[in-house]
Amino acid sequence: MRRPAKGRSGRAGDTGFRFATGAFALALVLIVAAIGFELVRQSMVSVRAFGLSFWRTSTWDPIAGEFGALPFIWGTLYSSILALVLATPVALGIAVFVSELCPGWLKQPLVFLTELLAAIPSIVYGLWGIFVLVPAVRSLQEATPEWLRQVPLFSGPPLGVGMLAAGLILAIMVIPFTSSVAREVLKSVPAAQREGAYALGATRFEAIRAALYFARTGIIGAVMLGFGRALGETMAVTMVIGNNPQVSASLFAPQYTMAAVIANEFTEAADELYLAALVEIGLVLFIVTLIVNSLSRLLIWSMAQPTRRRVAAVVVPAEESAA
């Protein structure tokens, strides 16, 4: 919007516009910094009281005033990595199918449906999880043969709620993010790569593989983006994970995550140390998510850099392949 400047060109309007939008951008950075600062400030009581043992101890006893965050860190990492393991093949499959193999008329509807998964609110996933997923997982657990139950990974009574249910629900929530970013990344693979592969006599599958190889940094970035999303997921997880602060290797055991414990216990945390301990867990989550997301963004951006030279394994002079 140009300000009516007396006898000047619209340069004042331009500068004003740049200033305003720059201020918005700066405001966002300041907000994130303010959140970090506030988290540090509110958790100081707990940091001073427990120090590094906060990360090693497994006891979470609000009545006795002993707080150890190990079960939550374990639960968050376990559930997120499990979600990654389950979601990545599916998400990459969707991305590859939509960008390479899909018939034209199917592309848009499929993309739309995948994005729709991302639009479903977390709490709705949680409700679906309690009423549909958990009984299904319970039947699966009851059907596990006795010899398999001896393995620590599959031990424990068939409760239904537990790490497996949480991992599955997180996987479903993460798929749309990973697949849409992977699809974009695959779209940005230069046509020359694929054409060169075909020119060398590659099959469809080999050409796709070449494209995937080219886009590998971006795809890792997409996977990490999904990881970052899974780390912070709260409501869906807390409804199906069983909320038991224990460190257990079993997929069937009820466990706890950082986001879930904050959501569950924050309103009733009446004393200062308890609150500070919860805020400290929030601080950990904040830092971890920041790092994971930044890393994933860097990886995705580095894929988009045109200046970086790629090892073009498939571009060969025409005479050689004709010979």
Partner 1 sequence: MLAVACFVAAGCGSGGGNQGQGQEPAQQTIQINGAGATFPFPIYSKWFDEYHKLHPNVQINYQSVGSGAGIRQLVNQTVFFGATDGPMTDEQLQGAPGKILHLPTVLGAVVPVYRIDKVDAQLKFSGRVLADIFLGKITRWNDPAIAKLNAGVTLPDTNITVVHRSDGSGTTYVWVDYLAKVSPEWKSKVGVGTSPSWPVGVGGKGNEGVSGLVTQSPGSIGYVELVYALQNKINHGQVQNAAGEFVTASIESVTAAAAATAATMPSDFRVSITNAEGPGAYPVSSFTWMLFYENPMDKTHAKTMVDFMRWALTDGQKFATELGYAPLPTAVVQLEMSALDTIAVK
Measured from the Cβ of residue 267, the count of other Cβ atoms closer than 10 Å reads: 7
Of 75 and 226, nearer to partner 1 (C-beta) is 75
Per-residue 3-state assignment (H helix, E strand, C coil) for 115-170: HHHHHCCHHHHHHHHHHHHHHHHHHHHHCCCHHHHCCHHHCCCCCCCCHHHHHHHH
Q: Say whether residue 36 binds partner 1 (CB under 8 A).
A: no
Min separation Cβ 138 and partner 1, Å: 7
Q: Say whether residue 18 binds partner 1 (CB under 8 A).
A: no
Min separation Cβ 161 and partner 1, Å: 5
Q: Say whether residue 161 binds partner 1 (CB under 8 A).
A: yes
Of 27, 29, 52, 63, the residue at the interface with partner 1 (CB under 8 A) is 63
Which window, 40-48, 95-103, 131-139, 198-206, contacts partner 1 (CB under 8 A)?
131-139
Question: Among 280, 266, 81, 228, which Cα is nearest to 166's?
Answer: 81
Of 90, 120, 159, 199, the residue at the interface with partner 1 (CB under 8 A) is 159
Q: Say whether residue 242 binds partner 1 (CB under 8 A).
A: yes
Q: 156 CB contacts (<8 Å, ≥6 apart)?
A: 162, 248, 250, 252, 253
Helices (H) and strands (E) in the chain, counts: 14, 2
Give the C-alpha separation, 163 to 82, whole Å: 9
Of 267 and 307, nearer to partner 1 (C-beta) is 267
Q: Say whether residue 59 binds partner 1 (CB under 8 A).
A: yes
**What does the per-residue mask of binding to partner 1 show for 256-275, with x meaning CB under 8 A?**
----x---xx-xxxxx--x-
Of 138 and 209, nearer to partner 1 (C-beta) is 138
Min separation Cβ 6 and partner 1, Å: 16
How far, rounded to the nearest angstrom, does the alpha carbon of residue 250 sit from its chain's CA centroid?
A: 22
Give the C-alpha separation, 152 to 250, whole Å: 6
Q: Say whether residue 254 binds partner 1 (CB under 8 A).
A: yes
Question: Among 71, 236, 79, 239, which Cα is nearest to 167's?
Answer: 79
- Total residues contacting partner 1 by CB under 8 A comes to 38
Q: In residues, how long is the chain? A: 323
Q: Say whether residue 130 binds partner 1 (CB under 8 A).
A: yes
One DSSP character per residue, 205-219 reads: HHHHHHHHHHTHHHH
Q: Say whether residue 149 binds partner 1 (CB under 8 A).
A: no
Of 134 and 300, nearer to partner 1 (C-beta) is 134
Three-class secondary structure of residue 61 per DSSP: strand
Q: Say whether residue 135 binds partner 1 (CB under 8 A).
A: yes
Q: Say whether residue 137 binds partner 1 (CB under 8 A).
A: no
Three-class secondary structure of residue 66 per DSSP: strand
Min separation Cβ 32 and partner 1, Å: 23
Q: 290 CB contacts (<8 Å, ≥6 apart)?
A: none
Which window, 31-39, 103-111, 133-141, 174-182, contacts partner 1 (CB under 8 A)?
133-141
E strand or H helix that includes residue 260? helix 258-265
Q: Say whether residue 10 binds partner 1 (CB under 8 A).
A: no
Q: Which residues bind partner 1 (CB under 8 A)?
A: 1-3, 13, 16-17, 20, 59-64, 130-131, 134-135, 138, 157, 159-161, 238-239, 242-245, 254, 260, 264-265, 267-271, 274
